[in-house]
Structure 1
Amino acid sequence: MAEWMIYGANGYTGELIAREAVARGLRPILAGRSNAKVAALAAELDLPCRVFGLVDDPDLDGVSLVLHCAGPFSATGKPMIEACLRAGVHYLDITGEIAIFEYAHDQHDRAVAANVVLCPGVGFDVIPTDCVAASLKQALPDATHLALGFDSRTKMSPGTTKTSVESLGQGGKIRRGGKIVTIPMGSMSREIDFGSGVKWAPAIPWGDVSTAFHTTGIGNIEVYVATSPKQKRGLKLVNVLRPILRLTALQNMLKGRVTRTVTGPSAESRAKTPVFVWGEVRNDRGDKRVARIKTANGYDLTVTGALAVVDQVLTQRPPGGFYTPSRLCGADLISKLPGSGPLVVE
């Protein structure tokens, strides 16, 4: 296999991916901004390493593909995409951030010209929901409305928590008439049976608001997450405080607290917390299809999903351009990953 790199290998998810890669006999280059952390992990795993920041010119010499794992991607995604386009290096990441998906999509023509694959979201964000969206589109080709969602009780990693902090000041996001629009957090909700009983679920600004549109062409999209009804009051408070929550000083303070206090879930915890994924499409006549699948814990799925897409790009050599995971690897990608049950469409 050609040389490839995990950037952000010292983060919670990056390290999980690095360890699984070695267990499979792979030898990625480990990279990141922290010399001490990256070098220590590389020495332990007997892997090559590089240390650089994205403000500088990233060291991608001799690299065919970067799996970008250093969030929040609002700060790191665009610089790494630009570096990969300049260097002719394929770009994958594990983001769930709508703005990064949209930015990568906007670079499609440049990626085609450079023969570079741009495929953000090759983890739990957004492999399972993207595959559900693609399967539902196949089941109801004239669908005009798509709803997706998931029920997950796993503890969040530091990187995911920091991204959640950023989203507090941005409001909810849905797609209407092909356009991404902002709504108050908690203003749209429904009762959903994700596969483990009916749960109350508010709409959230999940990555599929971007990616599912590019996968299916459906112009009306919402994404829901199972949440306790007791949190309704908290969501309303977030809306009131949105202008304050956007302040840089407060954002930095909250993210600093995350760095000091948040750790990712243990292997034992991950094994006990699978995810239930759901989707629904309907057309203008009122026809409807519903899909469900039970998957491994989101972090374990990110590890196996990301490595599956790395293998797809390096062995199959698809032409350059912007891809969603299901468009790159097929709608059955999620069903092939460890811990996944069958994807059932009703």
Structure 2
Amino acid sequence: MAKWMIYGANGYSARLAVQAAKERGFQPVLAGRNREKVETIAQQTGLEARVFSLDNTADIITNLRDIKAVIHCAGPFSATAAPMMEACLQNGTHYADITGEIPVFEHGKTLHERARENNVVLCPGVGFDVIPTDCIAACLKEALPDATELNLAFNAGGTLSPGTAKTSVEILAGGIKVRRNGELVTVPRTWNIRDIDYGRGPRTSAVIPWGDVSTAAWTTGIKNIAVYIPAPGSRLALKATSLATPLLKLKPVQQFLKKRIEKSIPGPTAEQRSARKTLLWGEVINASGQRVEARLQTANGYDVTVAGILAAGEMLANYQGEGGYFTPSQLFGPKIIESLPGSGTIEIR
């Protein structure tokens, strides 16, 4: 297998992936910006370490000189994905990441032709964001090819990692996004609140700015897309939280919240992850009102992300296909989620 790299190896999900990689006999190169943390993990695992920032494209390329694929795990991806993508394009290195940030997916799409010309794969979102939902979207599109509307939802629960929590602050500050008539639009937190049965009875659910409003459009061509999760509390509580959204746009507020997160959120334990499976749901509707529904159960989102990192590293280190921008279901196939540990089958009804 050619060399592949985990960049941001000291992050929560990346550390789990490094350990899992060692257990499977993989030898990814570990990299990141924090010398002490990256080199400590490398010493503990016996893996190669490289320390470099993403401030200079030439420096990134130097460190990618013999790397066939990078799995980028250093957020916030709104700041780090573009420079890594650019270096990969110039160096001929395949790129994947574990982002869920809509602007990163949208940026990747703009690089599709360059990636094809340079025979480089760009595939953001090879974690829980967005492998399971992207696979559901692809399977639903196959089941109802003339669908004009796609709705996705998941019920995860559980504890966030520090990186996910900090990224969530930035995502929510950007507003709730859905896709309408092919365009990304911002809607209130209370937009189209509905009851969704994830498999254990109806739950009041509200929209979130999840990556599928970008990726599922690329996967399916459907022009109306929204993603939901169970709503915390009542509709009145949702209205109250939506009033606080403008405050999240203020940099001092974001900085305060991120510092609190660093001090107070360690990330879920193995026991917590094992105890919390994820339930996913989706539906497509066509112009005549015909409707098809899907359900899926997977492992905890962080465990799905770890499996996605390893799957992407293994595939891209051996990749011989064409370059371009891909969603996970396009790169791995629409049933890839069913092969990941802890996942069931996508049930279409």
Letter in 2 for 1:306: I
**Take 1:305 and 1:129, find their aligned partners in 2: how far apart are those partners?**
13
Query: TM-score normalized by structure 1?
Result: 0.97
Displacement of 1:235 in angstroms is 3.6
Displacement of 1:234 in angstroms is 4.6
Aligned residue in 2 for 1:176:
180
- The number of equivalent residue pairs is 345
The answer to whether structure 1 residue 208 and structure 2 residue 212 are counterparts is yes
Aligned in 2, Cα 1:248/1:228: closer, same or farther, shift over 3 Å?
Answer: closer
**Take 2:68 and 2:190, find their aligned partners in 1: how far apart are those partners?**
42
Aligned residue in 2 for 1:188:
192
Aligned residue in 2 for 1:120:
124
Letter in 1 for 2:98: I
Deviations 1:76-96 (A, max 9, x none): 111111111111110000000
Letter in 2 for 1:314: A
2:73 to 52, 69, 72: 69
Aligned residue in 2 for 1:290:
293
**Take 2:311 and 2:174, find their aligned partners in 1: how far apart are those partners?**
32
**Take 2:6 and 2:49, find their aligned partners in 1: how far apart are those partners?**
9
2:71–2:312 Cα contact (<8 Å) kept: no
Aligned residue in 2 for 1:105:
109
The answer to whether structure 1 residue 237 and structure 2 residue 240 are counterparts is yes
* Matches for 1:318-337 after TM superposition, within 5 Å: 318-337=321-340
**Take 1:337 and 1:242, find their aligned partners in 2: how far apart are those partners?**
36
SS in 1 for 2:318: helix
Deviations 1:43-70 (A, max 9, x none): 0000000111111332212111100001
Moved over 4 A (4+): none
1:168–1:238 Cα contact (<8 Å) kept: no
2:270 to 249, 267, 270: 267
The answer to whether structure 1 residue 26 and structure 2 residue 30 are counterparts is no
Displacement of 1:307 in angstroms is 1.3
Deviations 1:224-282 (A, max 9, x none): 0123334x445433433333321112211211111111111000110000000100001
Letter in 1 for 2:92: G
2:292–2:348 Cα contact (<8 Å) kept: yes
**Take 1:318 and 1:159, find their aligned partners in 2: how far apart are those partners?**
32
**Take 1:243 and 1:275, find their aligned partners in 2: how far apart are those partners?**
30
Aligned residue in 1 for 2:6:
6
2:68–2:316 Cα contact (<8 Å) kept: no
Letter in 2 for 1:120: P
Mean Cα deviation higher: 75-84 or 113-122 = 75-84
SS in 2 for 1:174: strand
Q: Which consecutive residues of structure 2, in runs of 5 or more, have no partner in the other structure?
A: none
1:2–1:314 Cα contact (<8 Å) kept: yes
The answer to whether structure 1 residue 257 and structure 2 residue 288 are counterparts is no
Mean Cα deviation higher: 235-244 or 199-208 = 235-244
2:3–2:317 Cα contact (<8 Å) kept: no
Aligned residue in 2 for 1:299:
302
Displacement of 1:185 in angstroms is 1.6
Letter in 2 for 1:201: S
**Take 1:79 and 1:258, find their aligned partners in 2: how far apart are those partners?**
26
* Matches for 1:80-95 after TM superposition, within 5 Å: 80-95=84-99
The answer to whether structure 1 residue 37 and structure 2 residue 37 are counterparts is yes
SS in 2 for 1:144: strand
Aligned in 2, Cα 1:77/1:316: closer, same or farther, shift over 3 Å?
Answer: closer
2:232–2:238 Cα contact (<8 Å) kept: no
Aligned residue in 2 for 1:53:
53
Give aligned-pair identity as a percent. 51
**Take 1:298 and 1:241, find their aligned partners in 2: how far apart are those partners?**
27
The answer to whether structure 1 residue 144 and structure 2 residue 148 are counterparts is yes
SS in 2 for 1:219: coil
1:167 to 154, 166, 171: 171
Q: Which consecutive residues of structure 1, in runs of 5 or more, have no partner in the other structure?
A: none
Aligned in 2, Cα 1:51/1:205: closer, same or farther, shift over 3 Å?
Answer: same
SS in 2 for 1:148: strand
Q: How large is the RMSD of aligned CA atoms in angstroms?
A: 1.2
2:226 to 206, 222, 227: 222
Letter in 2 for 1:206: W
Deviations 1:278-330 (A, max 9, x none): 00001011111000010000000111122112222222422110000001111
Displacement of 1:2 in angstroms is 0.5
